[in-house]
Chain A
Amino acid sequence: MAVQPEPPLLEVESLTMAFGGLVAVSQFNLRLERGELVALIGPNGAGKTTVFNCLTGVYTPTAGSIRLRGRNIVGWPPHRVARAGVARTFQNIRLFRDLEVLDNVRIAAHLRQQATLAEAILRLPRFRREERRLAAEAYELLELVGLSHRAHQLAKTLPYGEQRRLEIARALATHPVLLLLDEPAAGMNPQETDTLTGLIDLIRDRFGLTILLIEHDMRLVMRIAPRILVLDYGQTIAEGSPEQIRTDPRVIQAYLGEEAVG
């Protein structure tokens, strides 16, 4: 009673998103504490990506509130949400395809640059210093995801798995507190998925990140997510540990099917 508890990192209350008559997400609630990793699963069209788009400011929800560290971010434009510390990757990779790998990451570090446009045009010392720092930071991140040797290639020339990792590096370059991963393992083979699993663990440890993850790969989800939320037709039908989700009859019926019981 004496100590006011710190607000949770993310608190979503009765989030509802309707497109005309279609209610994509209804009464969605989520509470994320700092450092947590939560998975959001559900069949195609369940509204998972819609939740992400609401959280990042792409959509303005029809109703409900989203509080990031106590501040309501509903109605903020996406770049402001990003500046507040929410980074994401996309289900269908959205890199800056015709730019170099290094620039993809450097652009994301852009929001921390302080040199003004005039300083940039006049090439003043602070601008030069910052450019060096941004490049060094970007290399550091590329090194982390194992892409530093690709720094000067165009992003579109990377193989699929590396593009996914580059997207993660780009998201990290914004120095987020909350990372939203939208099907990071989609289309990966088992080895690539393993590598990805390792990477997610690593960045979580290193950056103290809170992660919300959409994923269809049950093996990955069961392995790394202590808590799972299941969405179906916009409704949250279950929430709990992997074991609870595995045995929940509604989940099995709605999503996992018989094969996942094993």
Chain B
Amino acid sequence: MEGENLPPASSSGVSSASTASSAVNASRNIRPRLTPGWRFGVYFIAFAGLLWLNVWAYLGRFDYYVLGIIMMMGINTILATSLNLINGFAGQFAIGHAGFMAIGAYTAALLTMHARVSFALALVLGGLAAGAVGLFIGIPTLRLRGDYLAIATLGLGEIIRVIIVNLPITGGAFGLSGILPYTTFFWVEGAVILTLVVLSNFIRSSHGRALLAVREDEFAAEAVGVPTTYYKVLAFVMGSFFAGVAGGLFAHYLLFIDPSQFGIIRSIDILIMVVLGGLGSLSGSVVAAIVLTALPEYLRGFAEYRMVAYSALLILIMLVRPAGLFGRVEIWELLNRGRPCSRPGAGPGAGPGPGPGPGSTGPGPEPRTKAESGMKPGLEPAGRQEVTG
């Protein structure tokens, strides 16, 4: 089956059988595995924790304050991971995420209040509205890079906020009250899971790799056929969509929204979660969203020093781990590999297994450099022939 679509290399016959089998064998090793003990432990803890959370929420055992924090953790998780798609994976430094959240929040709230749309549909429509604005704005602004894109998106967030202040239907600066309390723990949980599944499946696909290529080197990405503008806009629109969904959840949890909740401060808060968790690490964003939602609450004990302590902790973390808590690595990779930065590779045992171990088994008399470079011995005569010819 593998033989069908292989490049012409295999048709010329040289060691095609062994290469194909080694390729298949090695492709199984693309996702590194945890050792069984670790894997069981991690899954067990995660499963047990989730189960406990669900049972407790179902039985209504959480007090209102704690449940509120848990739901905000979920909402912030959606916001942080969706911004990470734009900033960390596509490498486009966008701020202004709160603007898209606002669009989703107001759209969903107005739909459930005035149009009696079901909550699920309102969330989706809120997301789509945010995504549509993202598309409209993304096409011109994504031509900008680095600082310029950051400033443009920051400005965009403010424009959205000011428009909301001045629209008659949104209640202006007085805010919108009387939103129905639809958001429950389970709605948030479902939305978080859906977001994580969609984002991680997207990233771990050829489309997602194209996104990473854009982040790494746009010029080279174009040269291998990646339509860079398309993927930048795609990431931006997807990120905006999920921010809109998070906004809808937020509105139906808080029951009162006003434009000041979607200002620069909120955008910066989300950005901090992304940077702190690690640009390009979904699990980092999840952890950072949870920690940074809980932290200000926990620090209430410090009363007026609360924000000082919060800022000091942020500075400390960025000093100790400038690449973010998780860098670009996901939690499971971290558990497996020990060291997040170096990625030691497959190691001698895990590489292409039955293949003719290139490099290490070069023929004896060959010069050292050639054996080192791992070139197949078969290449050498071809070169020599051309020299004499």
Q: Bound state CA distance, A168 and B360, in angstroms? A: 22
**Segment from B15-23, B35-43, B47-55, B149-157 that makes contact with A:** B15-23
Chain B, interface SS category: helix
Please report the C-alpha to C-alpha distance between residue A208 and residue B207 in the assembled complex, in whole angstroms.
29
Q: Return chain B residues, CB-CB under 8 Å to A100.
A: 343
A190 to B, closest residue via Cβ: B369
The answer to whether A195 touches B383, judged by C-beta atoms less than 8 angstroms apart, is: yes
User: How far in angstroms is the closest Cβ of chain A from B53?
Assistant: 26
- One of B158-166, B177-185, B209-217, B308-316 contacting the partner: B209-217
The interface size of chain A toward B, counting residues with CB under 8 Å, comes to 84
Q: Is B266's beta carbon under 8 Å from chain A?
A: no
Of B202, B212, B369, the contact of A191 (CB 8 Å cutoff): B369
Chain A hits for B19, CB < 8 A: 139-140, 143
Question: Which of the candidate stretches A12-20, A22-30, A126-134, A246-254 sits at the interface with the other chain?
Answer: A126-134
Minimum C-beta distance from A92 to chain B (A)? 11
Query: Nearest B residue to A94 by beta-carbon distance?
Result: B220
Shortest CB-to-CB span from B355 to chain A, Å, is 7
Given contacts A87-B224, A151-B26, contact A143 B386 (CB under 8 A): no
Interface membership of B117, Cβ < 8 A: no
Interface pair A123/B201, CB less than 8 Å apart: yes
A107 within 8 Å of B by Cβ? yes
Known: A136-B2, A223-B387. A120 touches B375 (CB 8 A): no
* Interfacial residues of chain B within 350-389, with CB under 8 A of chain A in the complex: 350-352, 355, 357-360, 367, 369-370, 373-376, 379-380, 382-387
Provide the bound-state CA to CA distance between A97 and B91, in Å: 14
Contact with B along A159-173 (1 / 0, CB 8 A): 101100100001111
Q: How many residues of B contact A (CB 8 A)?
A: 69
Closest to A147 in B: B374
Assess the B224–A149 pair: CB atoms within 8 A.
no
Chain A residue numbers with a CB within 8 Å of B111 are none
Which of B6, B202, B219 is the one whose CB lies under 8 Å from A136? B6
A130 adjacent to B201 (CB under 8 Å): no
A244 interface hit (Cβ, 8 Å): no
User: Which 5 A/B pairs are nearest by Cβ-Cβ distance?
Assistant: A198-B383, A139-B23, A111-B225, A120-B205, A82-B225
Is A99 interfacial (CB 8 A cutoff)? Answer: yes
Judging by beta carbons under 8 Å apart, are A131 and B206 in contact?
A: yes
B5 proximity list for chain A (CB < 8 A): 133, 137
Q: Is B10 an interface residue (CB 8 A)?
A: yes
Select which of B223, B359, B367, B376 is within 8 A of A87 by beta carbon.
B223
Contact B224 A148 (CB under 8 A): no
Residues of A within 8 A of B206 (CB): 106-107, 109-110, 113, 115, 120, 130-131, 134
Most chain B C-beta atoms within 10 Å of own C-beta, residue among A108, A139, A199, A224? A139
**Is B272 an interface residue, CB under 8 A from the partner?**
no
B346 adjacent to chain A (CB < 8 Å): yes
Q: Give B99 Cβ to nearest chain A Cβ, in Å.
A: 24
Q: Are B6 and A131 in contact (CB under 8 A)?
A: no
Q: Is the CB of B355 within 8 A of A191?
A: no
Report if A98 contacts B (CB, 8 A).
yes
A83 within 8 A of B: yes
Q: Is B81 an interface residue (CB 8 A)?
A: no
**A residues within 8 Å of B by Cβ?**
56-58, 77-79, 82-83, 87-88, 90, 94-100, 102-103, 106-111, 113, 115, 117, 120-123, 127, 130-137, 139-141, 143-154, 157, 159, 161-162, 165, 170-175, 189, 191-192, 194-195, 197-199, 201-202, 205-208, 223-224
**In the complex, chain B residues whose CB is within 8 Å of the CB of A57:** 222
- Decide yes or no whether B7 CB sits under 8 A from chain A: yes
Kindly state the separation between the CA atoms of A197 and B369 in the bound complex, as whole angstroms. 15
Known: A110-B210, A136-B20. Is A146-B7 also a contact (CB below 8 A)? no
- The CA-CA distance from A94 to B386 in the complex, in Å, is 29
Nearest CB of A to B267, in Å: 26
Q: Write 10 A-B pairs (CB below 8 A) sorted by A numbering.
A: A96-B216, A106-B209, A108-B225, A127-B205, A145-B375, A153-B343, A162-B373, A194-B383, A195-B375, A201-B382
Report yes or no: A146 in contact with B358, Cβ–Cβ below 8 A.
Answer: yes
CB distance from A158 to the nearest CB of B (A): 10
Partner of B216, one of A97, A135, A157, A172: A97
Chain A residues within an 8 Å CB radius of B45: none
Contact A136 B24 (CB under 8 A): yes
| A120 contacts B20, C-beta separation under 8 Å | no
Given contacts A82-B224, A165-B373, could you give 18 more A-B pairs where the C-beta distance is less than 8 Å?
Answer: A79-B225, A79-B226, A82-B225, A95-B220, A99-B216, A103-B209, A106-B206, A115-B206, A133-B5, A139-B22, A140-B19, A140-B23, A141-B7, A146-B359, A189-B369, A198-B382, A207-B9, A223-B386
Q: Which residues of chain B in 73-96 are interfacial with respect to chain A, using CB atoms and an 8 Å cutoff?
A: none
Judged by a CB distance under 8 angstroms, whether B281 is at the interface is no
- In the complex where A103-B212, A146-B373, A171-B224 touch, is A191 in contact with B207 (Cβ < 8 A)? no
Give the chain A neighbours of B376 by CB distance below 8 A.
143-144, 146
Q: Is the CB of B383 within 8 A of A197?
A: yes
Q: Which residues of B are found within 8 Å of A140, using beta-carbon distances?
A: 6-7, 9-10, 19-20, 23
| Contact (Cβ within 8 A) B374 A170 | no
Q: Which of B203-246 contact A (CB under 8 A)?
A: 205-210, 212-213, 216-217, 219-228, 234
Interface centre among B20, B202, B205, B375 (most CB of A within 10 A): B375
Closest chain B residue to A101, Cβ basis: B345
